[in-house]
Amino acid sequence: MARRAHSREPRAPLRMFLVPCSCGTSFAVTENYDRQGTPWSRYLECPSCGKRHDPKNRLLQLGYRHEGFWGVDEC
């Protein structure tokens, strides 16, 4: 059986988007979360303390590094 050559197409980098809360909890959202829905529905409630968050204000972007760890890309 012939082996297929692995394509070396550039992949999109792995990224994670988190909303941090002052209670110490961080929760994940999708990249385009702040661009969908009505302005009132975009506010997120912290699963621990119930505080409401606007992801446009404090969305952390974490990117996966080739060295094998996650690092902050943008705040």
Look up the pTM and report it.
0.63
Centre a 10 Å sphere on the Cβ of residue 53 and count the other Cβ atoms it contains.
Answer: 19
Strands in 15-20's sheet, in edge-to-edge order, are 26-29, 15-20, 60-64, 70-74
Q: Which two tokens stand for residue 46?
A: 């912290």
**CA separation for the pair 51, 21 (Å, rounded):** 8
Q: Tens of pLDDT along the chain (75 residues)?
A: 555 555 666 777 888 888 889 999 988 888 776 666 555 566 888 889 999 887 677 788 889 988 888 888 876
